Structure formats: structure tokens, C-alpha cells
Amino acid sequence: MPTYDYECEKCGHRLEVFQSITEKPLRECPNCKGRLRRLIGSGGAIIFRGSGFYVTDYRSQEYRKKIEEETKPADTAKSSDSKKEE
């Protein structure tokens, strides 16, 4: 169920309420019986659980092979250049 934030226009009291999406918004402040207005929230946050997530975790095998091929020639070129200098 979503959480909705409300603020009383009369006393400034703020509250969070778990409500079904189909429920009507609250109208009356539980403190002073003043008028409540529902605040616009930023929405739910993404929760990552586990040891960690990386961009490369979910790449296809084809993508990984292509990256590996692109990085191998660069690595061998660097090592051969360093041998020439010595």
C-alpha cells in the first residue's frame, strides 16, 4: 500500500498514512479538525539488496566478448611499446 503525506492547513500538523489507492483522501486533521491537504511526494525509493550490483552483471555474452576483443589489442600494443623503449 502506498504512503500518503498530509498537512493541516490550520495547525500545520503533518502525518503519513498508509492507504489503498482506491481510498478517498483524508479531509480532516486529527489534531484540530482543520482541513488536510495531501502533499505530493517523490515516490518510492529503489532498494538494492545483496552484495552489490554492477552494470556489467546483466550484459549479454555477445556484449562481453566484444568488449574483451576491443580491450585485448590495446593491452598488447602497450606491452610491445614498452619493450621497444628498453
What pLDDT does residue 75 have? 52
Helix, strand or coil for residue 5?
A: strand
Quick: pLDDT tens for 8-66. 999 999 999 988 889 999 999 999 999 999 998 766 667 777 776 666 566 778 887 88
23-38 per-position pLDDT tens digit: 999 999 999 999 999 9
pLDDT for residue 65: 86
Model pLDDT, residue 30: 93
DSSP letters, 7-66, are EETTT--EEEEE--TTSPPP-B-TTT--BEEEEPP--PPP---SS---GGGG--HHHHHH
pLDDT for 86 = 53
User: pTM score, two decimals?
Assistant: 0.48
pLDDT at 29: 94
